[in-house]
Structure 1
Amino acid sequence: MDGKENQSSKTEVNFNTYATKKTIAKGLFDIGLLMSNASQLKSVLNYGSSWNYYYPVIVMICASLFLQFLVGIMLLVLGRMVFETDEGKRRANNLNNVTVGFVGVITVLNIFIGSFGLQMSGDQ
């Protein structure tokens, strides 16, 4: 029986380690998206305002970048919140829901940015 108890304790999930790894992975994805948006912004600016979708794409990229910074700040605040009281848990849950909503908006914005992608072949 001791062997079974010892074996089951090895398969338990350490949620602190899981959460830390998840946060690091999310941070790396966020950095990748931030770099992608910065590269897209540079390309659009280099292409010039003669492109038909110049201003809409500039606005969408800037909105995406702004929301990414905002989500980063919200995640820092969420990470420092105290969850001991019911009020703290409620506030953290609300902030988490708003953060998830902003991530959804960022995703949709980047889908549109990708669909309006620059065609470097000269077609406008």
Structure 2
Amino acid sequence: MRGGNQRIDLNFYATKKSVAESMLDVALFMSNAMRLKSVLQQGPFAEYYTTLVTLIIVSLLLQVVISLLLVFIAILNLNEVENQRHLNKLNNAATILVFITVVINIFITAFGAHHAASMAARTSSNPI
């Protein structure tokens, strides 16, 4: 560390963290959109259709809310003391929603959205 006594710019750190989380959220959002597409292509007679569609839509909605929270976290200045309490609450809310989203995506995987995606891909690429 140069200078030995350099202060860490907490706002810059928080902004970098929020941007990194947002990138991961976009990747998961795209993955869930693909899962939803494959489940919808299978149709309502597929096993666990309603469950999968519901879980994927809830996950997508939570990801939008998380993204909005991360935008607010990145906009507010953490170096201003009056913002720190509010930012802490927003960060805690985002963390809880991320945890819930992970659990929902575990259930999506358990109910076979990946299986549905691979079946849809095989059906569309090899129409026998």
| Secondary structure of 2:2 counterpart | helix
Task: Please tell me the residue identity of whatever aligns with 1:85.
Answer: V
> What TM-score, normalized by structure 2, do the two folds share?
0.73
* 2:25 counterpart (11, 30, 39): 30
- The 3 A distance-change label for structure 1 pair 108 and 54 is same
1:18 CA drift (Å): 5.5
Gaps of 5+ in 2: 121-128
Residue in 1 aligned with 2:40?
Answer: 45
CA distance in structure 2 between the aligned counterparts of 1:91 and 1:22, rounded to whole angstroms:
17
Residue in 2 aligned with 1:85?
Answer: 81
Q: Matched residues, percent identical?
A: 37
CA distance in structure 2 between the aligned counterparts of 1:20 and 1:94, rounded to whole angstroms:
16
Task: Please tell me the residue identity of whatever aligns with 1:90.
Answer: R
CA distance in structure 2 between the aligned counterparts of 1:92 and 1:20, rounded to whole angstroms:
12
RMSD: 2.6
> What TM-score, normalized by structure 1, do the two folds share?
0.76
Task: Please tell me the residue identity of whatever aligns with 1:28.
Answer: M
Equivalent pairs counted in the alignment come to 113
Gaps of 5+ in 1: 1-7
Task: Please tell me the residue identity of whatever aligns with 1:97.
Answer: N
- After TM superposition, list the pairs within 5 Å mapping 1:1-124 onto structure 2: 8-9=1-2, 19=14, 21-83=16-78, 84-86=80-82, 88-118=83-113, 119=115, 120=119
Higher RCO structure (Cα 8 Å, ≥6 apart): 2
Dislocated runs of 4+, deviation >6 Å: 10-14
Task: Please tell me the residue identity of whatever aligns with 1:30.
Answer: D
